[in-house]
Structure 1
Amino acid sequence: MTAITLRIPDTMDKPLRDAAAAAPSLNDYILRAVRRQMTLDAARVLAALEPLDLDGEGDAL
């Protein structure tokens, strides 16, 4: 596990807390957002690679 520290500008505090209102905690909301962004970034990197031969793989990936 890697620890990260986020500094949230004061101007983003209230909108972020409002967006996270339904989440168990602000920390949980931010963690999920970071994970989602990391997944999207990884998908972009994979999409930029040479085409892979996935014939016959179907939904197994």
Structure 2
Amino acid sequence: MSAITLRIPDAMDKALRDAAASAPSLNDYIVKALRRQMTIDAARQLAPIEPLDLGGEGDAL
């Protein structure tokens, strides 16, 4: 696991806290958002690659 430091601009603080109101914590909300963004970024990098022949493994991208 790696630690990161995130600086939230004052202008975004209230909106971010409001968005995270239903999450267990602000930290949890930010970690989930970061994971989603990392998944999207990885998918964008994989998208241009030729389709994978998974040989019936049951996986598809």
Query: Normalising by structure 1, what TM-score?
Result: 0.83
2-structure distance, mates of 1:14, 1:60? 39
What letter corresponds to residue 3 of structure 1 in structure 2? A
Aligned partners of 1:30, 1:53: CA distance in 2, in Å? 35
Number of corresponding residues:
61
Q: State the distance in 1 between where 2:13 and 2:6 align.
A: 12
Aligned residues of 2:23 and 2:29 also touching (Cα < 8 A): yes
Task: Tell me the C-alpha RMSD between the 2 structures.
Answer: 1.9
Task: Give the distance between the partners of 2:22 and 2:32, measured in 1 at CA.
Answer: 13
Aligned to 1:22: 22
Percent identity over the alignment is: 80
2:28 partner amino acid: D
Listed as ranges, the matches of 1:37-56 within 5 Å are 37-54=37-54, 56=56
